[in-house]
């Protein structure tokens, strides 16, 4: 179990200890990991030139480019996409014309690239990330790491063999408020966390418009790839993978089993992936992560709830709030003489006594609340420049991919699936 427990702590303690003297304690390793993480997250004055190419400048790809252009020294020098309208959109984002290629291999053949961003549909990640690493470039690859476990392991192996940086698009690992909240959870603020509930609900059909006539249906499958099995693992991958990553981080382990269900409840429009899903992942010591997503009611939005023996933590896309369980009975000190000090009477109203009786909670406040993707991208550039292992490395990517892939298998097979202990 030790291996599983230490597995996947972000810039994991195991990874740190591996390169150091064997007697280093897990605690020291964890604190070194924290120091290294802080270094990656901090802005840097380095503005040495870095030439980046992008494969798949779609909606996420463009957002990554916007963030890359906030890092001093970075220039986007080439793009590859099979859908030509993307090139104009990318030029708009960059403010200049980016040389374009309709085949990613032509991009890899260029001699003027240091790093590559891969933001293509999930089913294509491995087929773009692996050749990019093999071409000697560092890679920022979007989540979910890969469509199959074997592909995820091949990505990790390719990064190792080529000795290049691979960072996976789990940007919440870099979110200042999530990091600060999780540090407090790890320090015991809400006791022993036994359950994590993740909701990501929306109220729309998850489709994107297909702007031109499409008699063959080819464009529909390219633009709405999320709705078709060929390249997509559905809501579990697109939304659940982030929550699963955070659950792995908090539980300090990859999941051990997966149960899942789903259906097409609302949108009978020829799609193949479910429009609502429910997942239960088991972790060592009986702990559970539960994920639900529906697409016809957005009341709950995107939220993560951590339940511990002493309290709860609510994490949303932009803040974090702590709630505390009522205190257990404790032994009270007496003054020894048996004298009662007495109490002063007053009105009984206390705001935290209002329903719901846990009160409004204590919001987390932090000094430097930057956007998670802005930091993740800046940290990637830092890792490339300094040849450092990223916080969201292949282990992080694999951990979340294990949950996503096995939950999909459980959903398809309608039974609980054991998740093998696999590392990179």
Ligand X SMILES: NC(=O)c1ccc[n+]([C@@H]2O[C@H](COP(=O)([O-])OP(=O)(O)OC[C@H]3O[C@@H](n4cnc5c(N)ncnc54)[C@H](O)[C@@H]3O)[C@@H](O)[C@H]2O)c1
Which CB sits closer to ligand X, 142 or 395?
142
| d(C-alpha 14, C-alpha 257), whole Å | 23
H-type alpha helices, 187-240: 218-223, 234-235
Q: Which of these ranges, 27-35, 205-213, 246-254, 299-307, lies near other proteins under the rule CB under 8 A? A: 205-213
**Listed ranges 87-95, 98-106, 153-161, 234-242: which one lies at the site for other proteins (CB under 8 A):** 87-95
Specify the 3-state DSSP secondary structure of 132.
helix
- Residue from 22, 49, 84, 95 touching other proteins (CB under 8 A): that is 95
Q: Which long-range contacts (CB under 8 A, 24 or more apart) does 94-101 make?
A: 94/65, 94/69
What is the C-alpha separation between 311 and 307, in angstroms, rounded? 6
46 touches other proteins by CB under 8 A: no
Binding mask 153-172 for ligand X (x = CB under 6 A): ----------------x-x-
Applying CB under 6 A, does 403 fall inside the site for ligand X? Answer: no
- Residue 119: CB minimum distance to ligand X, A: 5
Write the DSSP string, 308-367: ESSEEEEEESS-EEEEEPPPPP-PPP--SS-------------GGGSTTTT-S-EE---S
Q: Is 272 in the site for other proteins (CB under 8 A)?
A: no
Told to check if 318 binds other proteins by CB under 8 A, we report yes
Judged by CB under 8 A, does residue 220 bind other proteins? Answer: no
The 257-263 sheet, strands edge to edge: 362-363, 320-324, 311-316, 302-308, 193-200, 287-294, 276-283, 257-263, 417-418
179 token code pair: 């990091």
Asked if 245 is part of the footprint of ligand X (rule: CB under 6 A), the reply reads no
Q: Is 75 in the site for other proteins (CB under 8 A)?
A: no
Q: Total residues contacting ligand X (rule CB under 6 A)?
A: 25
In the region spanning residues 32 to 61, those forming contacts with ligand X, defined by CB under 6 A, are 55-61
Which spans of this chain sit near other proteins (rule: CB under 8 A)? 43, 45, 47, 63, 66-67, 69-72, 93-95, 204-205, 207-209, 211-212, 269, 318, 368-372, 374
């Amino acid at each position: 179990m030790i291996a599983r427990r230490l597995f996947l702590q972000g810039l994991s303690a195991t990874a740190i200890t591996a390169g150091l003297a064997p007697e280093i304690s897990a605690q020291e390793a964890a604190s070194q990991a924290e120091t290294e993480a802080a270094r990656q997250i901090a802005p840097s004055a380095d503005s040495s030139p870095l030439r980046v190419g992008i494969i798949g400048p779609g909606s996420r790809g463009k957002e990554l480019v916007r963030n890359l252009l906030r890092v001093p020294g970075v220039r986007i020098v080439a793009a590859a996409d099979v859908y030509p309208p993307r090139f104009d959109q990318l030029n708009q984002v960059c403010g200049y014309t980016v040389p374009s290629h309709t085949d990613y291999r032509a991009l890899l053949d260029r001699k003027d690239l240091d790093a590559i961003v891969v933001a293509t549909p999930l089913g294509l990640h491995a087929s773009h990330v692996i050749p990019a690493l093999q071409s000697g470039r560092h890679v920022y690859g979007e989540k979910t790491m890969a469509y199959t476990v074997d592909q995820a392991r091949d990505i990790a192996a390719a990064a190792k063999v080529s000795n290049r940086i691979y960072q996976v698009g789990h940007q919440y690992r870099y979110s200042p408020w999530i990091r600060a909240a999780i540090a407090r959870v790890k320090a015991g603020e809400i006791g022993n966390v036994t359950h994590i509930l993740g909701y990501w609900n929306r109220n729309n059909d998850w489709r994107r418009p297909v702007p031109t006539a499409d008699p063959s249906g080819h464009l529909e499958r390219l633009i709405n790839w999320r709705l078709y099995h060929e390249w997509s693992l559905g809501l579990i991958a697109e939304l659940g993978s982030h929550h699963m990553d955070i659950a792995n981080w908090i539980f300090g382990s990859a999941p051990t089993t997966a149960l899942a269900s789903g259906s097409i409840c609302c949108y009978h429009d020829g799609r193949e992936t479910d429009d609502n899903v429910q997942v239960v992942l088991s972790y060592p010591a009986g702990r559970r992560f539960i994920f639900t997503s529906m697409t016809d009611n957005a009341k709950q939005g995107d939220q993560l709830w951590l339940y511990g023996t002493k309290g709860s933590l609510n994490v949303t896309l932009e803040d974090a709030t702590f709630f505390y369980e009522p205190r257990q009975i404790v032994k009270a000190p007496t003054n020894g003489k048996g004298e009662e000090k007495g109490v002063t009477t007053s009105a009984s109203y206390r705001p935290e006594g209002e329903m719901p009786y846990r009160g409004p909670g204590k919001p987390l406040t932090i000094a430097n609340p930057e956007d998670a993707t802005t930091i993740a991208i800046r940290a990637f550039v830092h890792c490339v420049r300094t040849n450092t292992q990223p916080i969201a490395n292949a282990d992080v990517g694999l951990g979340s991919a294990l949950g996503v892939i096995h939950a999909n298998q459980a959903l398809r097979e309608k039974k609980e699936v054991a998740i093998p202990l696999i590392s990179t």
